[in-house]
């Protein structure tokens, strides 16, 4: 059997789709499972245990007829038996119908007539469970499994070397991922102020002076870690890909972060996490290792450092 899953969205959306992929492989162990994802999320499948091939298609772009035609051609050439679509654009259903795939699964809606098997879209549940519902189109009604990732051995080795470089291989560490500082994040008030991060770091250093603080640098252009490094003993790490980031998260005693992909990686590798959330939900599975701090105003900056540290020390 050949199965293709079309999953719009970023890295977090893909990680939340992993339980669906894992159950597909469990029920169809000999199936080839491919995914079609946006280019920005393609690298996340470095830590997938079950996907054979990753195809890139920008679902949100203003695609030309040639772009749509290429998508149909790529799918048709691979002669898939089953297609699972995790979005809501009826055009994708139409293209899957044109591709000749016999079993086409997606969410129920007014324009779902190009699908052969549609399932209810229960948006009130967490996103991982909502995605997992799509397997009902194949008669699979098992509970949604826990998030899990497969970190390559080379990435674990890299993280161990990085911990030695930072001098934290024996002491453990707190990992801080301050999130992106893009114009989009600024426009939606989803940037946590530098001064607040500095207060949080100072509190860690006062309460646990022997526990190092490591800050994730998202890119070479990301200047926030250098600003935070001005404080005594703060260390900086720059994982070059998501597998190495997952390995660094797995090695941490605690992660403090904003609402981004590292939240889902932390849940998958079972690292205790305190997440600072603005106006949106994480859509993640419930977990006793995860503490969500929602802003009372929707502005990330309105979560005080005192509130963060109270939840950290309360456990």
Q: pLDDT confidence of 188, banded at 50, 70, 90?
A: very low
* Cα distance between residue 109 and residue 39, in whole Å: 27
Q: Which domains does the chain have, with CATH numbers?
A: 2-138 (3.40.50.2000), 153-314 (3.40.50.2000)
Inter-residue contact 206 to 165 (CB < 8 Å): no
* Cα distance between residue 264 and residue 230, in whole Å: 29
Local structure of residue 94 (DSSP, 8 states): H
pLDDT in tens, 8-33: 999 999 999 999 999 999 999 999 99
**pLDDT at position 285:** 55
| Alpha-carbon Rg for the chain in angstroms | 21
Average pLDDT over residues 255-261: 88
pLDDT in tens, 284-315: 555 678 888 988 888 888 999 999 999 998 86
Local structure of residue 285 (DSSP, 8 states): P
Can you point out the beta strands (E) in the chain?
2-7, 32-37, 53-56, 82-85, 103-107, 117-119, 174-177, 213-216, 235-237, 254-258, 273-277, 290-294
pLDDT in tens, 189-213: 568 888 899 999 999 989 999 999 9
**pLDDT at position 298:** 85
pLDDT in tens, 132-144: 999 999 999 999 9
* Cα distance between residue 313 and residue 291, in whole Å: 12
* Cα distance between residue 156 and residue 166, in whole Å: 15
Q: Which of 219, 228, 220, 221 is nearest to 192 (CA)?
A: 228
Strand order in the sheet with 32-37: 53-56, 32-37, 2-7, 82-85, 103-107, 117-119
Q: Is 69 helix (H, G, I), strand (E, B) or coil?
A: helix
Q: pLDDT confidence of 183, banded at 50, 70, 90?
A: very low
pLDDT in tens, 68-106: 999 999 999 999 999 999 999 999 999 999 999 999 999
Q: Which of 280, 231, 304, 299 is nearest to 126 (CA)?
A: 280
161 phi/psi in degrees, rounded to 5: -65, -40
Q: Is 75 helix (H, G, I), strand (E, B) or coil?
A: helix
Strand order in the sheet with 213-216: 235-237, 213-216, 174-177, 254-258, 273-277, 290-294
pLDDT, mean over the chain: 89
**pLDDT at position 60:** 81
């Amino acid at each position: 059997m050949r199965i293709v899953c079309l999953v719009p969205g970023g890295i977090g959306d893909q990680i939340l789709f992993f339980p669906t992929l894992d159950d597909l492989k469990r029920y169809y162990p000999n199936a080839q499972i491919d995914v079609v994802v946006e280019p920005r999320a393609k690298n996340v499948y470095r830590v997938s245990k079950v996907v054979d091939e990753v195809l890139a298609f920008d679902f949100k772009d203003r695609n030309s007829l040639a772009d749509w035609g290429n998508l149909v051609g790529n799918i048709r050439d691979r002669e898939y038996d089953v297609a699972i679509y995790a979005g809501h654009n009826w055009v994708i259903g139409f293209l899957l119908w044109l591709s000749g795939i016999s079993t086409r699964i997606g969410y129920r809606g007014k324009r779902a007539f190009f699908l052969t098997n549609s399932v209810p879209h229960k948006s009130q549940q967490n996103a991982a469970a909502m995605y997992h519902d799509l397997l009902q189109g194949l008669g699979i009604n098992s509970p949604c499994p826990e998030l899990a990732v497969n970190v390559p051995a080379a990435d674990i080795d890299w993280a161990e070397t990085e911990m030695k470089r930072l001098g934290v291989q024996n002491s453990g560490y707190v990992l801080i991922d301050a999130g992106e500082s893009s114009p989009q994040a600024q426009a939606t008030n989803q940037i946590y102020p530098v001064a607040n991060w500095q207060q949080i770091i100072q509190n860690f250093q006062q309460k646990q002076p022997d526990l190092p603080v490591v800050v994730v640098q998202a890119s070479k252009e990301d200047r926030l870690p250098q600003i935070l490094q001005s404080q005594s003993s703060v260390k900086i790490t720059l994982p070059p890909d998501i597998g190495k980031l997952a390995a660094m998260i797995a090695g941490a005693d605690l992660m403090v972060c904003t609402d981004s992909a590292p939240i889902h990686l932390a849940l998958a590798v079972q690292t205790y996490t305190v997440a600072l959330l603005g106006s949106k939900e994480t859509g993640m599975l419930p977990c006793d290792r995860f503490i969500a701090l929602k802003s009372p105003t929707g502005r990330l900056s309105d979560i005080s450092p005192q509130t963060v540290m109270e939840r950290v020390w309360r456990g």
